[in-house]
Amino acid sequence: MKTVLSWGLLPGLDAVVICQLKGRPVCLPFNRGSLFLHHNIDERAQAKADPERMNPESVNALGRSFMIPDIELKPEQLKDLVSGIMADPFVMLGAHPVTLDTGPALVVRVLLPGAGNVTILDLDPARDIQMQVVDREGLFEAVLPGMEGIYPYRLRVDFGTGSISTFYDCYSFLPVLTEYDLFLFNQGNHLDIYEKMGAHPIKHQDVTGVFFAVWAPSAVRVSVLGDFNQWDGRRHQMRSRGSSGVWELFVPHLGPGLLYKFEIRTQDGILLTKSDPYAFFFEKRPKTAAIVHDLDQFSWSDQEWMQSRADIDTLKRPMAVYEVHLGSWRRRIEEENRWLTYREMADELIPYVREMGFNYIQVLPLAEHPFDGSWGYQITGYYAATSRFGMPDDLMFFVDKCHAAGLGVILDWVPAHFPMDPHALEFFDGTHLYEHADPRQGVHSDWGTLIFNYGRNEVRNFLVGNALFWLDKYHIDGLRVDAVASMLYLDYSRKEGEWIPNRYGGRENLEAIEFIKNLNTKIFERFPGAVTIAEESTSWPGVTRPVHLGGLGFMYKWNMGWMHDMLTFMSKEPVHRRFHMNMLSFALLYAFHENFILPLSHDEVVHEKGSLLSMMPGDDWQKFANLRLLFGYMYGEPGKKTLFMGGEFGQWHEWDHDHSLDWHLLDFEPHKKLQRFVKDLNRIYHAEPACYELDFDPAGFDWIDFHDSDSTVVSFIRRGNSKDQVLVFAFNFTPVPRINYRIGAPIPGFYREIINSDAECYGGSGFSSGGSVTADSIPWHGRPYSLNLDLPPLGMIILKPDDRK
């Protein structure tokens, strides 16, 4: 035993113990159970070490408790080491100082199952050192008298395969993660955690390799597995970083493209093989190994887009979102129905979206997921772009091209739950690490998934870091956060007795609420101009109110109530709609309580609900007319717009994730003309500030009339910031033309019809008021002027005041 003289802290180490070795002070970096000689203490180390940090009693306690490893392994140590159950192999493997009768020495040990001969290079410049077999399971040892300094050294190994391998011993390197990294992570505040955890090609102590780090606080032992060690968990056992729960290992010579997993020995002695939660890339399903990948090699060309984005107030700009599932938008049917790649999407999807007039693409989740039928909502690789469509660089290429084309990219993101796949997050280290242990808190019975434990700092850090990761590494412009309501309520979809109240006895998930607030705060701090969208289906107040004003802090909220009411109303036979006019007007009672997006999303065209077109009543002509009417009403009401793929041209079949959209339908006039109508709606939407500038201000909307249930006609006014930015919308929800139908007008003069959904070019009957109308000085609907209109059957029109006749 050596006497401890002092101790202190150095960056990257848990502590520094200063001992006396053969009359001389030496600096021993200490990593909670790992004690080894680093270098003779010098002035710099003395300056960083702080003897005042510990009182004499503590120093004596350290002196009694820490030992420099003996030259001989105890039988139980030997057994634990070769059987792979030693908690921290750095205690015994690698180079360690010992004292012989002749003076100081180093003992070097390596565990290389399958090796027949091992030689140490570099430690003794005068000779190579042959190691001796200590155990036939592959433990080798060498004693180097007179040696004291420790630095990375190489091993020359004969595995009996006919070739000799030479490599650096991974147990000869210092730790990579600093104490500050571990502190921030355990506090839940390491916003760049994706730069630290997972697998990273780096240069460490002038040697290139891959650094691995994983959080598994209850594990007895963690190892890296891969082709490089024949998937043998004894070969690359990781360094424990003590109470942080983090395990790390730098493995020299490895690089991108390497397959790997983690082997975790639990407290029960069970061996688990787990995928890396922070992996950047995975094998294509059903395989589950992670792949080492460097995300910083792509050359971006969107600097102008990223800089200008921060200056844009999207609340006062048009936002027409095209929602896409990349796996089924279009497929190569002639090539075994394969998916398009990310790069093929850049060539085909981007021009199509631009031509249609949308300015955002919203993609269903792209993080790695094993089950195609989950549509990406059951994620196992939160930091990995799915390999279904190509490499991570290919997705970056797609986003880069979107920005070059003036299109923003919104990603569906799923922090509410994760699947029970045994290779992923579930029961990760033999305990309920990422999820709650109690199923009343930790299980989504509706979806057969698990709920994140938002009260755990490291879990929150994992999720917040993941959101920032997509915005940082992939230049994503916004996140649509899935299933927010299920996060906010402890009793979401649960019966009495199936949930646990919060500490105040309420049903609100207090930890999830704080997580959401922190998430939005960090996103807007780090990425000005980015947007967050809540899929929240309840009346929770302040979803889009800023956090500092007591809200959750989202930029937008999907108006799920509007979507439900509109589709219910439009699916009714026109003769019955007069009895349900409240469904048209109800959403306007709360339209300005939040920053709403009006969605017609993927959720409404699955599970035997049918497609939007098939939901519409009547014969084929009426179905197309009704769908145009629905789209026109969505673009007229206040709020940003989201439309799921296929709706724009009248997909007949409901969405099937395994098949392409029915693009052949565009060979038929009704579908082609419907597509043209949506394109023209987008053109008008972007050209007319009255359609978007005051989406979230009551001054931007004014009812003309919504009481005429007998005629089933409604009309309203939209306004922009300027007083001359005025549009009049009128909708006839019956197949009966309304001739000489008078509505109030906001100003006198000439009104030009800028779109008519019943125009022949859109597949309609061509019924109209002649393209223009002049306001009469006849008071109507409480206004001093009025318009005498001929309203088309199942049609809508937009009129714009125009002083040019």
H/E segment holding residue 8: strand 4-8
Distance CA 20, CA 8 (A): 15
Question: Beta strand 103-111 with 117-121: parallel, antiparallel or unpaired?
Answer: unpaired
Distance CA 685, CA 101 (A): 88
CA distances from 430 to 139, 264, 449, 501, 563 (A): 28, 8, 18, 27, 43
| Alpha-carbon 294 to chain mean position | 18
The DSSP secondary-structure symbol of 550 reads T
Taking alpha carbons only, the member of 567, 560, 550, 644 closest to residue 596 is: 560
Asked if 753 and 768 touch (Cβ cutoff 8 Å), the reply is: yes
DSSP 472-509: HHS---EEEETTHHHHHBTTTT--TTSS---TTS-SB-
Taking alpha carbons only, the member of 320, 316, 314 closest to residue 680 is: 320
The catalytic position among 429, 482, 511, 648 is 482
Taking alpha carbons only, the member of 556, 14, 545 closest to residue 243 is: 14
Asked if 444 and 374 touch (Cβ cutoff 8 Å), the reply is: no
The DSSP secondary-structure symbol of 235 reads T
DSSP 687-727: H-GGGTTTTTSGGGEEEEEEEETTTTEEEEEEE-SSTT-EE
The catalytic position among 400, 477, 535, 654 is 535
Residue 52's φ and ψ, nearest 5 degrees, are -75, -10
What's the alpha-carbon Rg for the chain, to the nearest Å?
A: 33
Contact residues for 313 (Cβ-Cβ < 8 A; gap 6+): none
Tokens found for residue 385: 């772009």
Determine whether 535 is an active site residue.
yes
- b/e 467-480 (16+ beta carbons within 10 angstroms → b): bbbbbbbbbbbbbb
Q: Which residues are known catalytic residues?
A: 482, 535
